[in-house]
Chains A and B, each alone.
Chain A
Amino acid sequence: NAGVTQTPKFRVLKTGQSMTLLCAQDMNHEYMYWYRQDPGMGLRLIHYSVGEGTTAKGEVPDGYNVSRLKKQNFLLGLESAAPSQTSVYFCASTLYGVSGELFFGEGSRLTVL
């Protein structure tokens, strides 16, 4: 059972380039989240989804877009990467929404030069 899988694990981009992070979960969870982790900042919510076909903004959504076309996948896109988006990105999912334990992916380290 894979749980939550993120690809790619590492990526280096140049300013202005675009890319997509893929999150896939095999636990049939309704709720999925994208967080970013920066030194001394904890984890901050970028976007989230409460079910297939739904997305919503979190705390720090600017510069990112997301899609949830299939229940098991949650994509995070950067249309024009900026150095401020250098971070470690974590995807998470849960069955029970705010009351449930979050299952995290291993993280994706993105560097924007």
Chain B
Amino acid sequence: AQKVTQAQTEISVVEKEDVTLDCVYETRDTTYYLFWYKQPPSGELVFLIRRNSFDEQNEISGRYSWNFQKSTSSFNFTITASQVVDSAVYFCALSEGSGYALNFGKGTSLLVTP
């Protein structure tokens, strides 16, 4: 069963628009970790953020913010005032305390046009 669901396959926005990428996860563990990675067109995977299951505090880093809600099993990612350089595939991932590796969602491809 898919542990991480990223329902949005592709999103296209115009520069300066705000955009939210959705991530829904599934786990029975009480201890788990959530991640977001960015894969720009050059292909490398860039770590953005990690959250553990005991810390529901939202986080803001510049134009990026993350909303972690255990009640809805979601860990959504918002880019404010998007820029062309934000164009990339974004992956949400889950690792469980009882597990051994990250489980990745299928990714959301974001295209920001001028």
Contact = CB atoms under 8 A, between A and B. Distances in A.
Interface of A: 33, 35, 40-45, 48, 50, 56, 58, 88, 90, 92, 97-99, 101-104, 106-107
B52 interface: yes
Contact of B47 (A41, A56, A98, A101): A101
B45 A98 contact: no
17 contacts: A33-B101, A35-B104, A42-B91, A42-B106, A43-B91, A43-B104, A45-B103, A48-B100, A48-B101, A58-B101, A88-B43, A92-B45, A98-B33, A98-B96, A98-B101, A99-B95, A101-B35
Given A42-B107, A90-B45, A102 B100 contact: no
Contacts of A103: 47
Interface string B17-39: 00000000000000001010100
A42 B105 contact: yes
Nearest to B33: A99
B114 interface: no
Contacts of A41: 106
Contacts of B101: 33, 45, 48, 58, 98
A91 B106 CA distance: 18
B99 interface: yes
Interface residues of B, number: 23
B105 A101 contact: no
Q: What are the 7 tightest A-B residue pairs by CB atom distance, in nearest-first order?
A: A98-B95, A42-B106, A104-B45, A43-B104, A42-B104, A101-B47, A45-B101
Given A44-B104, A45-B101, A99-B97, 10 more contacts: A42-B105, A43-B91, A98-B33, A98-B102, A99-B95, A101-B50, A102-B45, A102-B102, A106-B43, A107-B43
B43 A98 contact: no
B21 to A, nearest CB: 14
A35 B107 CA distance: 14
